[in-house]
Amino acid sequence: MMENLDTDRLMSGNLGNWLAHQTVERDRAARKSNQRFLVSFGVLVPLAIVLALLRFLQFGFSGFFFLAACIGAGIWAYYPRAEAIKKVKIGINEAIADAVGITYSLKGDGGPAYERCKKHKMLPSHNKQAFEDFWQGEVAGRPFQLFEAHLENETSDSDGGTKTVTKFRGPFLSVGFARQFHGTTLIQRAGTHKKFGFFGGKKDSISAAGKTMDAVDIVHPEFEDAFDIYATDQVEARYLVHPAYVERMLEVEQAFKGKELRAIFCGGELTVVVEASNMFESGGMDASKDRDKVDLTISQFRALANLAQSLNESER
């Protein structure tokens, strides 16, 4: 079904007709949003003048109240645009999923893939997580799930203020693997696990998810320069991981302008994770850019789906 992922074919069919109708809807949303901005301006400006004349604006509570009013007004005014963009995004992504024979949903749960990666110390420390853009079904006859994660760490200071830092953003790709395996094999970028913190060579073994995984040596210079492998079963790891995977994984990093790709063979599934900027954002207010956004989303999806297929070779 991957051959159906063609921008011209999608745009000349139902998706193109639907997007043409959404041009009217987006224009209506823009007008409504502009009206709300005018109303907000008409309320906030007199409020600011009154507070300034009363000399309250520079004081804590009044200043905070005015700032909160501005933020609330901005959200209220932009809301029609945000809803129109979200509707277009969902429509485009659903059409792409339908062309491949899978389903798409905007929201969902990270589920086993996220938990597996977290337990095996593949993710940076965080205390907030959000997931979106779920694609799932079967690709090339194998279970397939793709979603985007946004992981953050929120801290509080002594004054009660909070600071939120993004620790990770990028896609999680899980596929049911063609080959049978029973252990756990972890692939991470070279230098992730060093003997002495940030110094020394790579660790001889690591502990994660209640298991000990030993370093696996793969006789291939390019592979060893790019990745480290740890596994519970050395023989199985060498069977599963072929040096040619290096090129395929690096191609995905390049396609998404990403970094720190990592992968794990565990529980009968291969899960690949890569840090990248916000993806699958196919919605927009400018109808003239719809085709380019469809094309970009298709290329992003195809790169990950092709990775799943190329890594998921038949049993040897």
Residues 161-201 have pLDDT tens digits of 788 999 999 889 888 877 778 899 998 887 777 776 666 67
- Which pairing describes strands 142-156 and 227-231: parallel, antiparallel, or unpaired? unpaired
DSSP reduced 3-state for 173: strand
State the burial class of residue 19 (Cβ atoms within 10 Å of its Cβ: 0-12, 13-18, 19+): buried
314 assigned to some structural domain: no
Q: Rounded to whole angstroms, how far apart are CA atoms 259 and 245? A: 16
Whether 308 is covered by a domain: the verdict is no
Within a domain: 292: no
Domain that holds residue 200: 102-280
Q: Are residues 51 and 115 in the same domain?
A: no
User: Is the domain of 205 the same as that of 58?
Assistant: no
Distance (Å, rounded) from C-alpha 91 to C-alpha 287? Answer: 13
pLDDT in tens, 96-118: 888 888 899 999 898 899 999 99
- Dihedral angle computed from the Cα positions of residues 119, 125, 128 and 130, in that order, rounded to the nearest 10 degrees: -60
- Is the distance from CB of 292 to CB of 282 less than 8 angstroms? no
Lowest mean pLDDT among 4-18, 85-99, 256-270: 256-270
- Any long-range contacts for 34-37 (C-beta under 8 Å, 24+ apart)? 36/76, 36/77, 36/79, 36/80, 37/77
Q: Are residues 114 and 204 part of one domain?
A: yes
Q: What is the per-residue pLDDT for 118?
A: 93
Torsion of CA 298, 136, 238, 195, to 10 degrees: 90
Two tokens at 300? 């992003």
Percent of the chain with pLDDT over 90: 24
Summarize the confidence of residues 289-303 as an average pLDDT. Answer: 84
Q: How far apart are CA 102 and CA 96, in angstroms?
A: 9
Looking at the domain assignment, is residue 311 inside a domain? no
Same domain? For 152 and 247 the reply is: yes
- Verify that 226 and 178 share a domain, yes or no: yes
In this structure, are 240 and 183 located in the same domain? yes
The helix (H) or strand (E) run that includes residue 92 is: helix 60-100
The answer as to whether 291 is a domain residue is no
- 124 shares its domain with 249: yes
**Beta strands across the sheet bearing 205-208:** 103-107, 128-139, 142-156, 162-176, 269-275, 259-266, 185-189, 227-231, 211-216, 205-208
Instruction: Name the domain boundary from 101, 132, 155.
Output: 101
pTM, 2 dp: 0.81
Has residue 175 been placed in a domain? Answer: yes
Assess whether 58 and 178 both reside in one domain: no
Question: One-letter amino acid identity for 234?
Answer: Q
